[in-house]
Amino acid sequence: MNFVKMHGIGNDFVFINGIRLKFPNPEKNSRLLCDRRKGIGADQLLIVKKSKKADFMMEIYNADGSCVEMCGNGIRCLAKYVTDEKLTSKKELTVETLAGIQKIRILSKDRYEVDMGEPILKANLIPMKLKGRVINRPIRLEGREYRVTCVSMGNPHCVLFVDDLPKYPVTQLGPLLERFYLFPKRTNVEFVEIDSSSEIHMRTWERGAGETLACGSGACAAVVASRLNHLTENKVHVKLLGGSLDIEWSRSDNHIYMTGTAATVFKGEIEI
C-alpha cells in the first residue's frame, strides 16, 4: 500500500489515498502504521476520501486507533497532499470532517490558511459535564487546584496558563487531564505561557497521541482561551515545539483563522 509521510510544524502524519483504494480496518492499522518502532511512525493516520458535501473528506485516526473529529495541522497537510498528488488544481478547498466543513486557502507552495470556524464555549457542547462557559474555572486533581479554560474547535481542548513552560510536568499532568471525569470523550490539553499580548508559547498533550511537537486546533484553542482571559489580543503568534503558527480570532465573523506550513517528508510502500 502506497503512503506519504507529512508533517505540519512537527505534528506528523501518514497519508493514505482512500479515493483510489479501500483502506481496511483503520482502527487497527492506524496503530500499526503510526508505531515509531514497528511501523512508519506518526502522530496520526489521515485517509483522504471523496465527499458529497465538499471537495474532499478527511478521516483521522490517532496512534492509539481512536477516531477524532478534526486536526488543524493535518488539514494543512491535506491541502498540500491533494495538490501534489494532482487530485485538484484549486487554490481554495473545502474538506468534510467530523467537525464539519473546513475551508482552506493555498497562499503559496507550502503555506496555507485554514478557516477553523467559530470556537464552541458552552461546556455541554465541548463536551464537559458542566454548565455554562468554563473560563479560568478551578478544578481539583490529585489534591491540587488547577484553573482551566475549555474550548472546542470541533474537538475538545483544556487550556492551562503556566510559568516556566519548559520545566512544566506536561507528561505527568497531561494524561491525567486527558481522562479527567469531566470530559466524557477525553480532551486535548494545552499548557500555555504568555510572552506578550501578541505572542505565546505552548506545549500540547494530544488525546490519543501523547505530547506532540504541535497541534493546530490546540493553538487556536489556546488563543481563544488567552483572549477570554484578557491575556492577549485577537492576533497571536503561537510558538510550539515544532514551529510556529499565526492565529487570528476574527472580530468580523467570530471565526478562527490559522496560517502555517505543511511539508512532505517521504513517500513509500508498506504491506499491511
Residues carrying an active site annotation: 71, 215
Query: Phi-psi bin for 213: left (phi > 0), alpha (psi -120 to 50), beta?
Result: alpha
Q: Given the C-alpha cell 482502527, which residue does it identify?
A: 27
Helix axes 72-84, 216-228, angle to 10 degrees: 140
Cβ atoms of 221 and 206 closer than 8 Å: no
User: Which residues 6+ apart lie within 8 Å of 47 measured at CB?
Assistant: 15, 16, 18, 23, 26, 58, 59, 61
Question: Would you tell me how many other CB atoms lie within 10 Å of the CB of residue 268?
Answer: 12
